[in-house]
Chains A and B, each alone.
Chain A
Amino acid sequence: MDKKERRKTVARKLIGAAIFILLLLLVLLLLSHWFYPQQEDLTMQDVKPNGVLAEPDNSLDVILYGDSEAYTAFSPVQMWKEQGFPSFVCASSSQYISLTESFVHQSLEHQKPKLIILETNAFYRKMHSDNAFITRIENMFSILQFHNRWKVMSPIKVKQTAYTWKDDMKGYKYAKMTTKGRNFEYMIPTKEIQPIPEINAQYVENIVKYCNEKGVKVLFVSTPSYKNWKYEKHNAVAALAKKTGAAYLDLNLHADEIQIDWQTDTADAGDHLNFRGTKKVCAFLGEYLADTYQLEDKRNDPAYSDWNNLIPKYEMLTSEDK
């Protein structure tokens, strides 16, 4: 009798628990449906790279992607000043290559650049879950994938998501500080390879394929940084470039021409460049791009007068250079 009673309570509790779990799953499934993105409102979540969406359609010749290495090393206005081709740095702090891919897709919807540049430091950033099982669950409960859309769906509208916010620095982030590093030979030739995580390599291949279909060339660039770069990584990226048919320019191997002085040209001792380093990189890279890809000098093109107007402001913003 006692046992029977107990079985009954256990059964009742189990049924209760089961109903609860089903209810929870139902709510999540409903939300998954609700959160599934409509084509028109795919947005970039970072503020700075969003600036690219506000550029006039088909106005850019070069778009650069990557992490903080990219937005400290590449300054579009600087390159415009010297070479006269319009570009934009679509980089965000600690950018994942998966995010790069969606940036590429979104920016190429409105732009038809001659080429895009992928900064290679992001190739090595490990992504969280590359587990097939988890991916399958994620597909069913797509809320897990698209949960961040609550920001888009929220009633509070942020200025940036309206795509009218223009970045006068064109994605470049000005670093004025200098923290002395040291000058030494960090690119020691070797045959060793530091492999790129497989899933990242897959993403890169997909990006290159997508661009090729759109008729956009792809160039990998490694910015000078002795904290992040070494020959083993150069080898891996070179191999990936060969495999995908992308071009590769490792600025770490052009130390003689660029003349980076790690005592004065880095913001944080060998990790990021400061403005002095940026100018040197842009001088070299700008000339290289203009020559190699025959980018037209548009400084006298009236359609680009905005760019010329930016120069005084740019010079003022970067004049505190110590």
Chain B
Amino acid sequence: MKITSYISVAFLAIFLPAALLLYTIVPKKARPFAILVASFAFFWFISEFLILYLIASILSIYLLALLLERLKSKRDSALQAAASREEKKQIKKQSQSKQLAVVIAGVVINIGMLAVLKYSPFLFTNINLFFRLTHMDAAVEVPQFLAPIGISFYSLQAVSYIHDVYKDKIKADKNIARVALFMSFFPIIMEGPICRYADTAYDLYAGKRLQFKNLTFGAQRIAFGAFKKMVIADRLNIIVTTIFKDYEAFDYDGGLIALGAILYTLELYMEFSGTIDVVIGSGEMFGVRIPENFRQPFFSRSISEFWQRWHITLGTWFRDYIFYPVTMSKPMKKMTKSCRKKLGRHYGPLPASIIAFFCVWLCNGLWHGAGWEYIFFGMYHFALISLGSLILPLTNSLFEKWHIDRNKLPYKIFAIIRTALLVCIGELIFNARGLKDALKMLKVLFTKFTFKSWVDGSVLSLGLDIHDVIILILAVAVVFAVGIIKEKGKSPRELIAQKPIFVRWPIYIALVVATVVFGAYGAGYIPIDPIYANF
């Protein structure tokens, strides 16, 4: 069996039910091991021998965390024995540097594996390019590695585990099975969310009994995720691929490029958040609460808010393990203090945070892929966010002058649309075939923009007919309605569950039937690979 996506017959109709069955027929004590076996089997199906990299990661963080724990208890007993304050300080300092060395070892091992497997071809290609450009007669061989699927996700989890143990957020776990479960739980291994030890590890190991409500709610969430991906994302993929592939050969105008960017952003959202729905739903079935990864991102009013609502777990990872460590490092704090004196309240913290933003967005870009277009994508968001902070006092005073109230509805709508359009431009860069293509498309977008192609029917020559367009509009409206309910703080599933059976059941059945009938699969449709699994 080969599983390539969570939204597939192989996973939903075979693997997941089998895993649930195994989980419930074994004795309570063995349940965590049932998930572990299922998870390792799953990883084998998607990556075969590359599972060894995952095992190496698990072993490394398990052992290093225990080592950290040992250093800590040694320090504590030494502290108790110590007499003077001076001596205590000395002990603390020594232990600190040893612990730091362990943490660095953990980061180097885990990020190192990720870097070598995923980024060395990019690095070496660019070294060769450098040689060529400087007319140096040298070349290095570009290595090619096979990286296990999901490495970008579990490597970050590994780093967070080591870091959290070091910072006393959590205790090092003596139980290797729990560490292994945290790293390899099969619903999250391919596309995240990026979990923290404190979030999932204990739930996973608790071996709770399967609950009827968890099973049905999980199944509903899975069905909704499949609907988003199959009806919307897979259908959009047809037109998006055509535009991004053919824009040059067939000389599309800026209007079509803009349409491509908007539809790609929508496709990516439906694809990724739909998959995450399946992931969270699968976890829910086992009684494991997986953190949310999306919170209606297209209701955001600024780019920084967008990143707090889109791929949330990646954003918080960068915040906790890059942004704060950078801004809160000693030299940066010093800089912030003195800058506040010189630059004032608003600009004081900016230098430190702009440096930190730069690190975050460089990493964010690179995390998404080894290529200049991804770095450009990161820098684009870095520029938007920094610029937003820099001109804030200016916009504030302008708004005051013009009597614009930011909390009024018209402004809110304006801000939401503006943010969405800026995001779409970012995703255009993201989906282009390379930096050169990205720049070319942007050039067409801004120099040859007309709405001609939107109205003269050429949209319908790109692979979707009028039926597809109608279905797309209806399906997006459904997802939008669900988003509004959630935005109001209500749970659509709870709302439906309160309805009588002759309302409730037809809704569930309609959801499944709509996915089966209107899903863009089969002859004529190109199945898309999970976009995020390759990061």
A-to-B contact residues, CB < 8 Å:
10, 13, 17, 20, 23-24, 27-28, 31, 35, 45-48, 68, 72, 93-94, 96, 98-99, 102, 128-129, 131, 134, 137, 143-145, 147-148, 150-151, 154, 156, 158, 160, 173-177, 179, 267-268, 272, 274
List residues 177-214 of chain B with CB under 8 A from any CB of chain A.
Answer: 212
User: Cα distance A94–B239 when bound, in Å?
Assistant: 12
Contact assessment for B466 and A158 in the assembled complex, using a CB-CB cutoff below 8 Å? yes
Interface assignment of B527: CB less than 8 Å from any CB of chain A: yes
Neighbouring B residues of A102 by C-beta, 8 Å:
523
- Given A94-B526, A147-B517, answer yes or no on A24-B249 (Cβ-Cβ < 8 Å): no
Contact assessment for A274 and B249 in the assembled complex, using a CB-CB cutoff below 8 Å? yes
List residues 507-534 of chain B with CB under 8 A from any CB of chain A.
Answer: 508-509, 512-513, 516-519, 521-524, 526-527
Contact assessment for B242 and A31 in the assembled complex, using a CB-CB cutoff below 8 Å? no
Residue among B9, B249, B468, B517 having the largest count of chain A Cβ atoms under 10 Å: B249
Contact assessment for B251 and A47 in the assembled complex, using a CB-CB cutoff below 8 Å? no
Contact assessment for B522 and A148 in the assembled complex, using a CB-CB cutoff below 8 Å? yes
- Given A24-B509, A45-B523, A148-B522, answer yes or no on A173-B250 (Cβ-Cβ < 8 Å): yes
Neighbouring B residues of A268 by C-beta, 8 Å:
248-249
Interface assignment of B414: CB less than 8 Å from any CB of chain A: no
User: Cα distance A72–B248 when bound, in Å?
Assistant: 13
Sample 23 A-B pairs with CB under 8 A, ordered by A number.
Answer: A10-B212, A20-B508, A24-B508, A31-B513, A31-B517, A45-B523, A48-B461, A93-B242, A94-B241, A98-B523, A128-B521, A137-B9, A143-B517, A144-B522, A147-B518, A148-B524, A150-B517, A151-B467, A156-B470, A177-B251, A179-B249, A267-B249, A272-B249
Neighbouring A residues of B141 by C-beta, 8 Å:
none
User: Cα distance A179–B468 when bound, in Å?
Assistant: 32
Interface assignment of B255: CB less than 8 Å from any CB of chain A: no
User: Cα distance A23–B507 when bound, in Å?
Assistant: 13
Contact for A158 among B212, B465, B505, B524, CB less than 8 A: B465
User: Cα distance A156–B248 when bound, in Å?
Assistant: 33
- Given A23-B505, A27-B509, A93-B242, answer yes or no on A148-B249 (Cβ-Cβ < 8 Å): no
13 additional A-B pairs beyond A47-B460, A93-B241, A177-B250, beta carbons within 8 Å, are: A20-B505, A31-B516, A35-B517, A47-B461, A128-B527, A134-B9, A148-B523, A151-B467, A151-B468, A160-B465, A267-B249, A268-B249, A272-B249
Neighbouring A residues of B241 by C-beta, 8 Å:
93-94
Question: Closest residue to B501 on the A side, CB-wise?
Answer: A16
Contact for B212 among A13, A131, A134, CB less than 8 A: A13
Question: Closest residue to A147 on the B side, CB-wise?
Answer: B517
Neighbouring B residues of A31 by C-beta, 8 Å:
513, 516-517
B-to-A contact residues, CB < 8 Å:
9-10, 212, 216, 241-242, 246, 248-251, 460-461, 463, 465-468, 470, 505, 508-509, 512-513, 516-519, 521-524, 526-527
Question: Closest residue to A146 on the B side, CB-wise?
Answer: B522
User: Cα distance A174–B251 when bound, in Å?
Assistant: 10
User: Cα distance A31–B246 when bound, in Å?
Assistant: 37
Listed from nearest, the 7 A-B pairs whose CB atoms lie closest are A267-B249, A175-B249, A45-B524, A151-B467, A128-B527, A147-B517, A13-B212
User: Cα distance A144–B230 when bound, in Å?
Assistant: 13
Q: Return B20 CB to nearest CB of chain A, in Å.
A: 13
Question: Closest residue to A267 on the B side, CB-wise?
Answer: B249
- Given A28-B513, A93-B242, A267-B248, answer yes or no on A147-B522 (Cβ-Cβ < 8 Å): yes
Contact assessment for A99 and B251 in the assembled complex, using a CB-CB cutoff below 8 Å? no
Neighbouring B residues of A179 by C-beta, 8 Å:
248-249
Contact assessment for A99 and B518 in the assembled complex, using a CB-CB cutoff below 8 Å? no
- Given A20-B508, A72-B249, answer yes or no on A154-B467 (Cβ-Cβ < 8 Å): yes
Contact for A143 among B248, B505, B516, B524, CB less than 8 A: B516
User: Cα distance A174–B461 when bound, in Å?
Assistant: 13
Contact assessment for B467 and A156 in the assembled complex, using a CB-CB cutoff below 8 Å? yes
Contact assessment for A175 and B516 in the assembled complex, using a CB-CB cutoff below 8 Å? no
Q: Return A36 CB to nearest CB of chain B, in Å.
A: 13
Count of A-B contacts with CB under 8 A? 94
User: Looking at chain A's contact residues, is the secondary structure mostly helix, strand, loop, or mixed?
Assistant: helix
Residue among B212, B513, B518, B522 having the largest count of chain A Cβ atoms under 10 Å: B522
User: Cα distance A179–B248 when bound, in Å?
Assistant: 8
Question: Closest residue to A125 on the B side, CB-wise?
Answer: B526
Residue among B466, B516, B518 having the largest count of chain A Cβ atoms under 10 Å: B516
User: Cα distance A203–B91 when bound, in Å?
Assistant: 74
Question: Closest residue to B460 on the A side, CB-wise?
Answer: A47
User: Cα distance A96–B526 when bound, in Å?
Assistant: 9
Neighbouring A residues of B249 by C-beta, 8 Å:
72, 175, 177, 179, 267-268, 272, 274
Neighbouring B residues of A47 by C-beta, 8 Å:
460-461, 465
Q: Return B341 CB to nearest CB of chain A, in Å.
A: 55
Neighbouring A residues of B250 by C-beta, 8 Å:
173-175, 177, 267
- Given A94-B526, A177-B248, answer yes or no on A147-B516 (Cβ-Cβ < 8 Å): yes
Neighbouring A residues of B460 by C-beta, 8 Å:
47
- Given A24-B509, A94-B241, answer yes or no on A46-B524 (Cβ-Cβ < 8 Å): yes
Question: Closest residue to B462 on the A side, CB-wise?
Answer: A93
Q: Return B519 CB to nearest CB of chain A, in Å.
A: 7
Question: Closest residue to A160 on the B side, CB-wise?
Answer: B465
Q: Return A70 CB to nearest CB of chain B, in Å.
A: 14
Contact for A99 among B461, B467, B524, CB less than 8 A: B524
User: Cα distance A98–B241 when bound, in Å?
Assistant: 20
Contact for B522 among A94, A145, A160, CB less than 8 A: A145
Neighbouring B residues of A177 by C-beta, 8 Å:
248-251
User: Cα distance A98–B526 when bound, in Å?
Assistant: 12
Neighbouring A residues of B526 by C-beta, 8 Å:
94
User: Cα distance A10–B212 when bound, in Å?
Assistant: 8
Neighbouring A residues of B518 by C-beta, 8 Å:
147, 150
Neighbouring B residues of A137 by C-beta, 8 Å:
9
User: Cα distance A177–B248 when bound, in Å?
Assistant: 7
Neighbouring A residues of B521 by C-beta, 8 Å:
128, 147
User: Cα distance A23–B505 when bound, in Å?
Assistant: 10
Contact assessment for A144 and B523 in the assembled complex, using a CB-CB cutoff below 8 Å? no
Contact assessment for A156 and B466 in the assembled complex, using a CB-CB cutoff below 8 Å? yes
User: Cα distance A253–B235 when bound, in Å?
Assistant: 38
Contact assessment for B251 and A24 in the assembled complex, using a CB-CB cutoff below 8 Å? no
Question: Closest residue to B505 on the A side, CB-wise?
Answer: A20
Contact assessment for A147 and B519 in the assembled complex, using a CB-CB cutoff below 8 Å? yes
Neighbouring B residues of A147 by C-beta, 8 Å:
516-519, 521-522
Contact assessment for B513 and A93 in the assembled complex, using a CB-CB cutoff below 8 Å? no
Q: Return A169 CB to nearest CB of chain B, in Å.
A: 12
Q: Return A273 CB to nearest CB of chain B, in Å.
A: 9
Question: Closest residue to A176 on the B side, CB-wise?
Answer: B251
User: Cα distance A129–B523 when bound, in Å?
Assistant: 11
Question: Closest residue to A99 on the B side, CB-wise?
Answer: B523
Question: Closest residue to B13 on the A side, CB-wise?
Answer: A137
User: Cα distance A129–B508 when bound, in Å?
Assistant: 27
User: Cα distance A137–B526 when bound, in Å?
Assistant: 21
Question: Closest residue to B242 on the A side, CB-wise?
Answer: A93
Q: Return A29 CB to nearest CB of chain B, in Å.
A: 12
User: Cα distance A163–B216 when bound, in Å?
Assistant: 47
Neighbouring A residues of B509 by C-beta, 8 Å:
23-24, 27
Question: Closest residue to B213 on the A side, CB-wise?
Answer: A13
Neighbouring A residues of B246 by C-beta, 8 Å:
68, 93
Contact assessment for B248 and A144 in the assembled complex, using a CB-CB cutoff below 8 Å? no
Neighbouring B residues of A20 by C-beta, 8 Å:
505, 508
User: Cα distance A137–B524 when bound, in Å?
Assistant: 20
